[in-house]
Structure 1
Amino acid sequence: MSTVQPLTPTAPVAPVAALARPTGTFAMVAMDQRDSLRTLMAEHAGEPRAAITDARMTDFKLAVAAALGPAASALLIDGHYGFRELMDRRLLPATCAPVLAVDVLTQEPGGPVTDTALDTAVDPAALAAEGVRGLKLLVIWRRDRHREERTELAARFVEMCRSAGLASVLEPVARPAPEEESAGFDLDGAIVEAARELAPLRPSLYKCQVPSRGVGTVGDLAARAARIDAVVDVPWVVLSQGVEPADFPKAVEAACRAGASGFLAGRALWTGALGAPDVRADLRGPCADRLGHLADTVDRYGRPWWDGTAAGRAGGTA
């Protein structure tokens, strides 16, 4: 357990506070993967994708929630696999806020997500009433002619959350435009450019990729992450997609040293359990231990959410 004492916020309590640890940092578990989880489960089980039923995916998601929820400050899940069971069975402790993904994914079976839209069928006010504390939107960001449309999509999402009193977690993932795939793609530059474009929409929490996919020393990665911090004046966290699980603890420390407030990660936390003889035992053991160590890291190095705005960094209130 962390020995860091809770801090006192200098800003009024905001919806994002419900997703945070007492220290104002974030140690959140992502369990909103859909077709990509089916692919992962099939690979680790040595079975065809068709053998991974919706029920098996839901069962794994609920097992992750039960095992990691007690050590997480929030858990992100999708509406297709497990959300209703999670809420009806009250699997999460009061210290772990439920966050619902409201992105509709464009994704070929077995392939990457190529685009997203906002699920207009959700009722944010009703979700807030039953205990959901935040919503998440994934945006696939590219240097192409659709940038303005994506910005408008993200803006609608942030306003939807704000109107319902829910935390908005905006997750831009930078991908190369077709002409960049052969010419060489500057991932770190694209992460910063996406942040410069979308962070001014002022989501409650900005979730972004780790620079250089977590490859490099803590000092190198922190210097690269500082470029993100320079253009984001809301609290921000990193995701684990694209980062080797062994590199993720180093990446989290580097990002937090540069100004991040923690992480919202999935694969780096629970992928190892997929190939374990006893999945639940592995989730309760090595996976929970990994989450605990990462939580200690964000408590030690992370910036509290109330200091994550420009006003907070200057000593004012948000």
Structure 2
Amino acid sequence: MTIDTLTTNDLTTQERRGLAAISTPDGHMLIVAADQRNSMKAVMQDAPNGTSAITTVELAEAKADLVRHLANHGPAILLDPEVALPAIPDQGILARDTALVVGLDASGFETVNGLKYTNYVPGMNPRRVRELGGDVAKMLWYTRPDKQGLDDRVADEIRSLTAECAAEGILLIVELLTYKLEGESDEDYAALFPTLVADGARLAVACGAKILKLQYPGSSAGADLVTDAAAGVPWAVLSAGVDHETFIVQVRDAMAHGAAGAMAGRSLWKDALSVDPTKRRELLTTRALPRLRELRAAVDGE
């Protein structure tokens, strides 16, 4: 599925331009995800010569290098407004032909009646995305569609933010993560997982979502379920912390069964974020960048 085949929840002209900006010339979404904060610090702490306390300054420098030596070779980069923005575009680090996706979600989540809910970074809204130079916005929601319906807080938030972004002329990527409930067995959750991913997509689409960022649903059959649930709305598979080799297999399978692209973070850079800047540049160039090129080939079916 490419950007020319959208059949439901139609995009405005401005939103189509945003989708084109985050896609390869062949029309498939490809975004380097680097909006992580706490998890990126953990990766750096675990790296050789890492320290127990990565400072915000060190994290910002790592994100800047990730843009310079990796993301600038792809269609788009997803960054956060707490550490990376507005410094990276203001300092001329972001290439003019690499689109900027601005993440709106704060780190972590709150739990209400056993269900997870994310919050916005303070002060973030579609207008602020524009002010930060963003081409596209992204918001994360945790979902358990077997426990949440169209009257849930998640549904209300998706409807509201989708409308606000459309009014501002900003394309919104709706990212969904399903999760295991307290007391739920691994076996029961695994059995439900493909349906949870698909039903989450169905819920988001019913609330007006126009682009989806989803977990790989486990199999070709699961991907078929998601594509059916998305009802023509393009969905991209996220890497969810798996290794690159595993993610490439998942992406190729998802693309063969209706996905429209991929958004990858740790699978690209998690073993390249050395605290030492010289070593980090080397690893991003010799290890992460070839992975990005392989990922591009996977989404484009090469």
TM-score range, shorter chain: 0.7 to 0.9
Contact 1:77/1:99, CA 8 A, preserved across alignment: yes
**CA shift in 2, pair 1:204/1:65, >3 Å:** farther
Partner of 2:87: 85
CA distance in structure 1 between the partners assigned to 2:5 and 2:108 by the alignment: 41
Using structure 1 for the length normalisation, give the TM-score. Answer: 0.80
Q: Structure 1 CA distance, aligned partners of 2:49 and 2:146?
A: 38
Q: Secondary structure at the match of 1:237?
A: strand
**CA, structure 1 residues 197+85, in 2 after alignment: closer, same or farther (shift >3 Å)?**
same
1:223 to 221, 225, 230: 221
TM-score for both structures, normalised by structure 2 = 0.84
Q: Percent identity?
A: 26
* Per-residue deviation, residues 129-154 of structure 1 (Å, max 9, x unmatched): 55311111111112575651111112
Once residues 10 and 243 of structure 1 are traced to their aligned partners in structure 2, the CA distance between those partners, rounded to angstroms, is 29
Q: Structure 2: which amino acid aligns with 1:149?
A: R
Contact 1:128–1:165 (CA under 8 A) maintained in structure 2: no
Unaligned runs of 5+ in 2: 7-11
**Alpha-carbon separation, structure 2, partners of 1:104 and 1:181:** 28
Kept in 2, the 8 Å contact 1:118–1:157? The answer is no
**Is the alpha carbon distance of 1:55 and 1:275 closer, same or farther for their aligned partners in structure 2, counting shifts above 3 Å?**
closer
Q: Is the 8 A contact 2:241 2:266 kept in 1?
A: no
1:196 corresponds to 2:196: no
Residue 117 of structure 1 contacts residue 153 of structure 1 at CA under 8 Å; is this kept in 2? Answer: no
Q: Return the match for 2:25 from 22, 29, 44.
A: 22
Alpha-carbon deviation of 1:114? 4.9
Q: Secondary structure at the match of 1:103?
A: coil
Q: Distance in 1 between matches of 2:27 and 2:268?
A: 21
Q: Please name the residue that 1:149 is paired with.
A: 153
Aligned counterparts of 1:8 and 1:99: Cα–Cα separation in 2: 17
- For 1:16 and 1:261, how far apart are their aligned partners in 2? 11
5+ residue gaps, structure 1, are: 1-6, 213-220, 302-318
Corresponding residue of 1:134: 136
What is the count of residue pairs matched by the alignment? 282
How does 1:118-267 map onto structure 2 within 5 Å?
A: 118-119=120-121, 121-128=123-130, 131-143=133-145, 148-181=152-185, 184-185=188-189, 186-212=192-218, 221-232=219-230, 233-267=232-266
Asked if the contact 2:3/2:28 (under 8 Å) is kept, the reply is no
How far, CA to CA, are the matches of 2:132 and 2:275 in structure 1?
34
CA distance in 1, matches of 2:253, 2:146: 30
Give 1:298's aligned residue. 299
1:260–1:74 Cα change, 3 Å: same
Amino acid across the alignment from 2:153: E
Alpha-carbon RMSD across the aligned residues, in angstroms, is: 2.6
